């Protein structure tokens, strides 16, 4: 067989040569891996063994203008699971579900919020009960991949401010902006959401070394932790005592109260009733509770002060005066005779006072809230000119208050009506309706407050709940600057409007004269907004003191029927309490019979 | 007696010291690395066991080195028959381990009969190949070796152990090549295998088949033969995709991940990635003994067995891996050299077969650890943990030494 002699001679060299070439290739590959590409693999090795753990920052507290604590933190235990590890221990999931009193499927879903192939812990339960904590502590060994962390939890000390403060919740992980490593709680609503950036603080980072099973070895050497930065404490313009008082005044009525300093927009009181228990949102909310909250016909989650939309009713009439004077519709001796109604086209428009007011000028027209006078002014102005002044005074747009979800309201203009009814298909008579704040005009209580402040000072302000931030460690302060824009209406015209508003309260025949306070000169305007779904809503806007206003109040009481009898007393008491520290205005119930019906029916 | 003394002295002179040293160094290196792997679990179980096996192995290597070639020649078929019997026993009453029946238990010791089968097959194949004197036929040689190879290949494949089963054809090819089987035979047998992949990439496979057929024409094959080869190739081309489509999805996945680990990032792909990370992060001089993070934190899988080379790479760096390669290369170089020096054709074939086996193991294992070759589960000779495997490698070393010591005998 061995016919080929040369092969016999060379075969050792050839076999060895093949092996040498193969080994040479292996060694070249090794050189590429270990010398040329080493940095990449070093990085991969580090990402294998180093887990980045977030150090949760302490959230900033929230205090009122007098330093009363509204929101603070308290310690609570949170249970986490590392999906990658627990993935292999489906038995312990059942066990754990028993201790936490959860359905196993629900628990699996919580564990795998980020998928099963990650070490990043997912939250199983916040604010563990002591029983569950003790049971888990005792059986810790049976639950690899389960961790506790001591974290801080929000405590809301001022339940009447729930609509302002809001609540916090799990960071939305579907949002890629939120980043992969932060799994903390963030503001979901209210001030907690608006000022998340300051309240939330900066999370710190700990570099931990783990083994292939995700077991913690210790802090990674050479990678020092970055400590977390606590959030800033937030001081509000809100006066907690006044807020509580306002809530008491609302009793169990539905509606909203806004009180604001007209000079800088500092919101003193912002009440929306009904409200809800803020503690419902601090743990894991059961579905039934959420369903109940969202399906409640009283809509407790709605912040009526900034989201509730109401026809302004007669409180809109100051817009007509401003527009009328500015546009020359109301001349020097302009007057209207009120016979109790006005025929416009083929329709009779009633005045609220069916007997009629007789001759009415602009000042007494507002004082008596004579509808016929304002029908006339509205028709002469037309819809577009009224729209212009309504917007100038802050209606029809968000006020810019530092809360989320504010409504912008509706101020009918040509474009709006063309869209609603078709181009040119709407009656000019709509202007009469709009002039008395009915129909296609909708405002929020906060807009009413801004509007009243603009009349009182000549400036439109952006309402501000936040006053300043104080750093809890350094004491450094950051104030929230007011945002003020002057109203483009002649000062003299505003003086006339203010005088009319003064008369509403302080002169006989004014719609709120019965509430006149001898010590404080309050200017205001009553309103009743027609509600097709039930009793009319009662509105009242006011500012005081007349000469140098320091507070404006807007009150809306749903189904309160008459602004003068229901809404106005609330505003008066609030102003008194704020300016004098005590209340002398008789309660509306005690004086129910005293409220003169003929002047409260506008 | 004086003659006896002289003989012993002469024998000692013929002992291949380079092979002895390289084997011992490789084995010690393996022990050092196994200790490190154990260290990550704060134990020494594997190290202690391997140490005992190594001690037994040194006795075994001495014994086998002393045995004269004729003993191997006369017991070759007996060993082969015994090994096949053990494989059958593993089939029927084997212990399941990692999803395959590879082990049998004898007197409380767990043994892997496929390891013994490797050496037994080499002895038997060497014997049938060295029996011809006058009448020489390549076809006869190929037929006999194929017949010997097909039984252990099939039995090991059924375990299933794809990696080890591939070993028998490779060893057979190595031994036939050593004997001088002409190149056209290898081409003839490779062409149908290449044709199987026609559907995967026709642009590469078609020229290969054409080139193969041209080569066969040049070496004297004519129309009838070429037509038969072409028909076989075309059959393979057509049949491969059909068989593939008949496979269950899990079988397809297993085959794909065998050839392309990155398609299975949680299974064998994960292992390869971690192995490359370990080796790559070792750098030039390594992280230091017992200091490799991939190893000590156990990100490196199978670190005392299949991926022990990656452990060396992480803790001893490029210097360590190159040193390991050099030591193993010395063993292979000496193996082929001894094969070439043997006067007995049987001894030469045995040495060539054993060295081919070791070379195949080494190249496949390291190629797998550095991500060049599929994950087969072939361990690294002399270094990987595993009693039966270490004894097999040392036995191979002992027989190689025996071939060296008795190389002057016919």
Same-domain status, A202 and A276: no
Same-domain status, A275 and A227: no
Q: What is the pLDDT along chain B (410 residues), one digit of tens a residue?
A: 444 455 677 777 889 999 999 999 999 999 999 999 999 888 889 999 999 999 999 999 999 999 999 999 999 999 999 999 999 888 877 665 555 566 777 655 677 888 999 999 999 999 999 876 555 688 888 999 999 999 999 998 887 777 888 899 999 999 999 988 888 899 988 998 889 888 888 888 899 999 999 999 998 888 888 999 999 999 998 888 888 888 777 677 767 776 776 666 666 677 888 899 999 999 999 999 998 888 888 888 889 999 999 999 999 999 999 999 999 999 999 999 999 999 999 999 999 999 999 999 999 999 999 988 888 889 999 999 999 999 999 999 999 999 999 988 77
Same-domain status, A274 and A225: no
List the single best residue of B137, B269, B271, B281 to mutate versus A (max A Cβ within 10 A): B281
Inter-chain CB proximity A42 and B280 less than 8 Å: yes
Same-domain status, A265 and A337: yes
* Residue A184 CB partners (closer than 8 Å, separation 6+): A54, A56, A57, A171, A200, A203
Give the pLDDT confidence score for residue B266 in this predicted structure: 60
10 Å Cβ neighbour count for A590? 9
Same-domain status, A373 and A518: yes
Inter-chain CB proximity A34 and B280 less than 8 Å: yes
Q: Which residues on B lie below 8 Å from A30 (Cβ)? A: 279, 313, 318, 321-322, 325, 370
Q: Which string of DSSP letters, residue by residue, matches A518-563?
A: SSS--EEEEEEE--TTSSPEEEEEEEESSSS--EEEEEEETT---I
Q: Which residues on A lie below 8 Å from B381 (Cβ)? A: none
Interface of B with A in 127-156 (CB under 8 A): 132, 136, 138, 141
Angstroms from B309 CA to nearest CA on chain A: 11
Domain membership flag for residue A191: yes
Same-domain status, A174 and A246: no
Q: Which residues on B lie below 8 Å from A21 (Cβ)? A: none
What CATH code is carried by the domain that includes residue A490?
A: 3.40.710.10
Interface contact B281, partner A, CB < 8 A: yes
pLDDT at A217 over 90: no
Q: What is the mean pLDDT of residues A527-545?
A: 88
Domain membership flag for residue B242: yes
SS3 per residue for A204-247: EEEEEEECCCCCEEEECCCCCCECCECCCEEEECCCHHHHHHHH
Same-domain status, A317 and A430: yes
Interface of A with B in 175-204 (CB under 8 A): none
Q: Which residues on A lie below 8 Å from B356 (Cβ)? A: 15
pLDDT at A276 over 50: yes
Angstroms from B263 CA to nearest CA on chain A: 16
Of A236, A252, A273, which residue sits at a domain end? A236
Domain membership flag for residue A22: no
Q: What angle do CA B226, B227, B230 make, to 5 degrees?
A: 85
Domain membership flag for residue A171: yes
Domain membership flag for residue A25: no
Domain membership flag for residue A288: no
Inter-chain CB proximity A19 and B297 less than 8 Å: no
Contact present, A478 and A232 (Cβ < 8 Å): yes
Interface contact A45, partner B, CB < 8 A: yes
Domain membership flag for residue A445: yes
Same-domain status, A387 and A268: yes
Nearest to B370 among A30, A44, A213 (CB): A30
Nearest to B276 among A4, A41, A212 (CB): A41
Q: Which residues on B lie below 8 Å from A35 (Cβ)? A: 283-284, 318
Interface contact B307, partner A, CB < 8 A: no
Same-domain status, A124 and A209: yes
Q: How far apart are CA B355 and CA A504, in angstroms?
A: 113
Q: ipTM of the predicted structure?
A: 0.93
* Cα separations in angstroms, A271 against A46, A335, A566, B336: 54, 40, 16, 95
Interface contact A48, partner B, CB < 8 A: yes
Locate the chain A residue with the closest alpha carbon to B298. A212
Q: Which two tokens stand for residue A493?
A: 């015209």
Q: Which residues on B lie below 8 Å from A44 (Cβ)? A: 273, 277, 280-281
Q: How far apart are CA B399 and CA B63, in angstroms?
A: 9
Domain membership flag for residue B138: yes
> Which structural domain range is residue A138 located in?
51-236
A420, A435, A412, A456: which is closest to A552 by C-alpha? A456
Interface contact A11, partner B, CB < 8 A: yes
Give the pLDDT confidence score for residue A151 in this predicted structure: 76
Contact present, B40 and B374 (Cβ < 8 Å): no
Task: Provide the domain count of chain A.
Answer: 2
Same-domain status, A413 and A453: yes
Same-domain status, A184 and A264: no
Contact present, B153 and B87 (Cβ < 8 Å): no
**A470 or B253, which is more confident:** A470
What CATH code is carried by the domain that includes residue A73?
A: 3.90.1310.10
Inter-chain CB proximity A2 and B370 less than 8 Å: no
Q: Which residues on A lie below 8 Å from B177 (Cβ)? A: 11
Q: Which residues on B lie below 8 Å from A20 (Cβ)? A: 329
- A317-326 vs A445-457: helix axis angle to the nearest 10? 40
Angstroms from B325 CA to nearest CA on chain A: 7
Task: Provide the domain count of chain B.
Answer: 1
> Which structural domain range is residue B69 located in?
2-405
Domain membership flag for residue A16: no
DSSP three-state, residue A379: helix
List the single best residue of A5, A9, A11, A15 to mutate versus B (max B Cβ within 10 A): A15
* Cα separations in angstroms, B371 against B6, B63, B216, B272: 52, 38, 35, 6
Inter-chain CB proximity B299 and A212 less than 8 Å: yes
Of A213, A236, A259, which residue sits at a domain end? A236
Same-domain status, A247 and A229: no
Nearest to A212 among B179, B297, B325 (CB): B297
- B113-130 vs B138-157: helix axis angle to the nearest 10? 170
Q: Which residues on B lie below 8 Å from A16 (Cβ)? A: 332-333, 336-337
Q: How far apart are CA A162 and CA A271, in angstroms?
A: 9
Average pLDDT, chain A: 85
Total CB pairs under 8 A between chain A and B: 130
Nearest to B180 among A7, A22, A217 (CB): A7
Domain membership flag for residue B410: no
pTM: 0.63
- B268-282 vs B345-369: helix axis angle to the nearest 10? 90
Contact present, A80 and A147 (Cβ < 8 Å): yes
Locate the chain B residue with the closest alpha carbon to A9. B340
Angstroms from B187 CA to nearest CA on chain A: 18
Q: Which string of DSSP letters, residue by residue, matches A311-363?
A: --GGGGHHHHHHHHHHTTSS-TT--EEESSEEEETTEEEEPSSTT--EEE-HH
Element (H, E) at B311: helix B308-341
Domain membership flag for residue A301: no
């Amino acid at each position: 067989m061995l016919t080929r002699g040369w092969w016999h001679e060379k075969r050792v060299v050839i076999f060895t040569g093949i092996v040498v070439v193969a080994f040479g290739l292996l060694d070249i590959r090794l050189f590429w891996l270990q010398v040329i590409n080493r940095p990449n693999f070093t990085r991969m090795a580090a990402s294998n063994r180093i887990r980045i753990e977030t150090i949760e920052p302490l959230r900033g507290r929230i205090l009122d203008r007098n330093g009363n604590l509204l929101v603070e933190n308290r310690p609570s235990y949170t249970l986490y699971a590392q999906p990658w590890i627990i993935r292999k221990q489906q038995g312990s999931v059942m066990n754990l579900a028993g201790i936490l009193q959860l359905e196993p499927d629900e628990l699996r879903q919580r564990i795998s919020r980020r998928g099963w192939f990650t070490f990043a812990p997912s939250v199983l339960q916040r604010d563990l009960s002591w029983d569950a904590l003790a049971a888990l502590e005792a059986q810790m060994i049976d639950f690899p991949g389960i961790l506790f962390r001591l974290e801080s939890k929000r405590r809301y000390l001022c339940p009447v401010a729930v609509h302002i403060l809001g609540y916090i919740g799990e960071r939305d992980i579907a949002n890629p902006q939120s980043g992969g490593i932060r799994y903390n709680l963030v503001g979901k609503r209210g001030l907690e959401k608006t000022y998340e950036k300051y309240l939330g603080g900066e999370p710190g980072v700990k570099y931990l070394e783990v083994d292939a099973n995700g077991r913690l070895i210790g802090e990674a050497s050479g990678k020092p932790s970055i400590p977390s930065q606590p959030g800033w404490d937030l001081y509000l313009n809100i006066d907690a005592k006044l807020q509580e008082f306002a809530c008491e005044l609302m009793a169990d009525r539905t509606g909203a109260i806004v009180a604001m300093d007209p000079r800088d927009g500092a919101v003193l009181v912002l009440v929306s009733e009904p409200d809800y228990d803020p503690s419902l949102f601090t743990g894991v909310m059961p579905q039934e509770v959420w369903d109940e909250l969202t399906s409640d016909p009283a809509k407790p989650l709605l912040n009526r002060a900034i989201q509730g939309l109401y026809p302004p009713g007669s409180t809109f009439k100051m817009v007509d005066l401003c527009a009328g004077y500015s546009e020359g519709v109301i001349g020097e001796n302009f007057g209207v005779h009120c016979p109790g109604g006005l025929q416009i086209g083929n329709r009779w428009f009633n005045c609220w006072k069916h007997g009629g007011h007789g001759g009415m000028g602009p000042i007494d027209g507002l004082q008596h809230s004579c509808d016929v006078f304002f029908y006339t002014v509205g028709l002469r102005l037309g819809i577009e000119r009224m729209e212009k002044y309504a917007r100038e005074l802050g209606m029809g747009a968000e006020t810019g208050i530092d809360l989320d979800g504010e409504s912008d309201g509706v101020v009918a203009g040509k474009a709006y009506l063309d869209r609603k009814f078709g181009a040119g298909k709407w009656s000019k008579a709509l202007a009469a309706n709009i002039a008395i704040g009915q129909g296609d005009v909708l405002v929020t209580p906060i807009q009413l407050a801004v509007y009243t402040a603009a009349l009182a000072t000549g400036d439109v302000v952006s309402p501000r709940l936040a006053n300043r931030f104080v750093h809890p460690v350094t004491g450094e302060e950051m104030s929230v600057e007011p945002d003020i824009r002057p109203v483009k209406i002649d000062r003299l015209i505003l003086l006339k409007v203010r005088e009319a508003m003064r008369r509403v309260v302080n002169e006989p025949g004014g719609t709120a004269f019965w509430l006149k306070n001898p010590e404080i000169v309050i200017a205001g305007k009553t309103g009743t907004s027609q509600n097709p779904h039930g009793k009319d809503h009662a509105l009242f806007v006011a500012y005081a003191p007349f000469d140098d206003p320091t507070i404006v109040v807007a009150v809306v009481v749903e189904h309160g029927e008459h602004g003068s009898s229901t809404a106005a007393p609330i505003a008066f008491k609030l102003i008194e309490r704020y300016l004098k520290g005590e209340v002398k205005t008789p309660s509306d119930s005690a004086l129910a019979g005293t409220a003169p019906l003929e002047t409260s029916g506008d | 007696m004086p003659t006896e003394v002289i003989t012993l002295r002469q024998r000692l002179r013929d002992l291949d010291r380079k092979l002895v040293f390289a084997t011992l160094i490789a084995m010690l290196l393996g022990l050092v690395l196994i200790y490190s792997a154990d260290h990550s679990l704060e134990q020494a179980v594997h190290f202690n066991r391997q140490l005992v096996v190594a001690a037994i192995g040194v006795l075994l290597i001495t014994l086998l080195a002393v045995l004269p070639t004729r003993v191997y020649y006369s017991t070759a078929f007996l060993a082969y028959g015994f090994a096949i019997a053990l494989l059958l026993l593993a089939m029927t009453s084997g212990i399941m381990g990692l999803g395959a029946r590879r082990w049998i238990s004898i007197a409380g010791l767990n043994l892997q009969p496929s390891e013994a089968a490797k050496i037994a097959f080499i002895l038997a194949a060497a014997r049938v190949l060295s029996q011809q004197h006058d009448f020489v036929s390549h076809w006869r040689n190929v037929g006999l070796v194929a017949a010997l190879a097909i039984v252990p290949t099939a039995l090991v494949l059924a375990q299933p152990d794809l990696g080890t089963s591939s070993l028998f054809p490779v060893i057979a090819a190595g031994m036939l090549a050593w004997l001088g089987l002409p190149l056209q035979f290898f081409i003839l047998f490779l062409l149908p295998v290449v044709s199987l992949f026609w559907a995967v990439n026709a642009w590469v496979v078609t020229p290969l088949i054409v080139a193969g057929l041209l080569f066969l024409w040049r070496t004297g094959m004519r129309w009838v033969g070429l037509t038969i080869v072409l028909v076989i190739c075309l059959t393979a081309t057509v049949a491969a995709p059909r068989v593939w489509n008949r496979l269950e999805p899990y079988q397809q996945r297993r085959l794909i991940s065998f050839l392309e680990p990155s398609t299975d990032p949680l299974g064998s792909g994960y292992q390869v990635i971690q192995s490359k990370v370990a080796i790559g992060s070792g750098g030039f001089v390594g992280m230091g003994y017992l200091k490799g993070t991939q190893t000590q934190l156990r990100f490196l899988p199978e670190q005392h067995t299949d991926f022990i080379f990656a452990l060396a790479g992480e803790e001893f760096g490029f210097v360590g891996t190159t040193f390991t390669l050099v030591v193993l290369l010395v063993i292979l170089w000496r193996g082929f050299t001894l094969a070439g020096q043997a006067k007995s054709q049987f001894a030469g074939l045995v040495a060539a077969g054993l060295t081919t086996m070791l070379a195949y193991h080494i190249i496949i294992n390291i190629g797998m650890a550095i991500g060049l070759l599929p994950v087969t589960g072939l361990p690294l000779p002399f270094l990987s943990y595993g009693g039966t495997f270490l004894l097999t490698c040392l036995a191979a070393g002992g027989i190689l030494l025996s071939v060296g010591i008795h190389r002057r005998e016919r």
